[in-house]
Amino acid sequence: MRTRRLPAFQPSLMLGVLRVWDEHAGHWAHTRGRGAVALHELLCFGVKQASACLFGGSMVLLLGLSWAFYPSHAALARYDFLTLAALAIQCVLLASRLETIEEAKVILLFHLVGTAMEVFKTSMGSWIYPESSLLRIGGVPLFSGFMYASVGSYIARAWRLFDFRFTRHPPFAATVWLAVAIYANFFTHHFLADLRYVLFAAVTLLFGRTWVYFRIRHVHRRMPLLLGFVLVALFIWFAENIGTFTAAWRYPMQHHGWRMVPFSKLGAWLLLMIISYVMVSAVARRRH
């Protein structure tokens, strides 16, 4: 079956560096046998994943380091430091061409969408940001939007680095309507019936037959796209546990001490993944 290649982002310096490294390492591996070739491909997969996580990994690292070492009585609040640091990382990535303008657009778009939801959710008491800061909207420090943007950044970078292709991909319009319904439910379930299980069914119906093909080196491997969504949502859940452990934000059940984020939150992150995926695909389509 022929694969469908959705529009891709233009290559960046990082992609060129990875290709040069891959050529030299690949030649070495082929002289050492099948085991070395398999190990090299696994290493290539890890390197590309690390590159795709560059922005999100930097944000998680900042959360941990600022929690452990940032002075509690500093003139600049920790949350404001995180906001300024995230902006600085963004500028460095763009200036060094480790991030493309298209990826920056995704980050900005998801930052706005995430911040809007944060303002509403904190007003409803879903979670809180316990520390004070100046750079905030209502009860939401501005660095929080970058945490959402990290998800969009990861998908955009992975899309380019792994040269995504698809079979049985649903129509773009259908995915947009699904993303709109998911986003709306994050707000309306506080007042009306929670439709998340209906949305889970819709996600399964639309993407259940979709395969994503990803190229680690020369050959495209494949996996169910739904499985990819679940795996990424799982890693976001791990990152969220780090965020709450470092008191970047806290859920009501964590007011009297840190507890692991309920595994049920994985479903919310899965739905959020769909929104991010559709945004990235929309930005990619505009380049065509």
Q: Supply the pLDDT for residue 161.
A: 87
Which range among 88-97, 201-210, 259-268 has the greatest average pLDDT?
A: 201-210
Q: Kindly tell me if the per-residue pLDDT of 7 is higher than 90.
A: no
Burial 264-279 (b: 16+ CB within 10 A, else e): eeebbbbbbbbbbbbb
Burial 174-188 (b: 16+ CB within 10 A, else e): ebeebbebbbebbee
Report the C-alpha gap between 159 and 246 in whole angstroms: 30
Confidence of residue 286 (pLDDT cuts 50, 70, 90): low
Report the C-alpha gap between 54 and 150 in whole angstroms: 9
Return all residues near 28 (Cβ < 8 A) that are at least 6 apart. 36, 40
**Runs of H (alpha helix) within 162-224:** 172-188, 196-207
Return all residues near 112 (Cβ < 8 A) that are at least 6 apart. 145
Report the C-alpha gap between 15 and 215 in whole angstroms: 13
Q: Determine the average pLDDT of the residues in 129-133.
A: 93
Q: Kindly state the DSSP code that residue 171 receives in the 8-state scheme.
A: P
pTM of the model: 0.85
Q: What is the pLDDT of residues 26-81, one digit of tens each?
A: 555 556 556 666 787 788 888 889 888 988 999 999 999 999 999 988 999 999 99
Q: Kindly tell me if the per-residue pLDDT of 164 is higher than 80.
A: yes
Cβ neighbours of 69 (radius 10 Å) = 7
Least confident of 13-17, 236-240, 242-246, 261-265: 13-17
Q: Supply the pLDDT for residue 5.
A: 59
Q: Determine the average pLDDT of the residues in 249-253.
A: 92
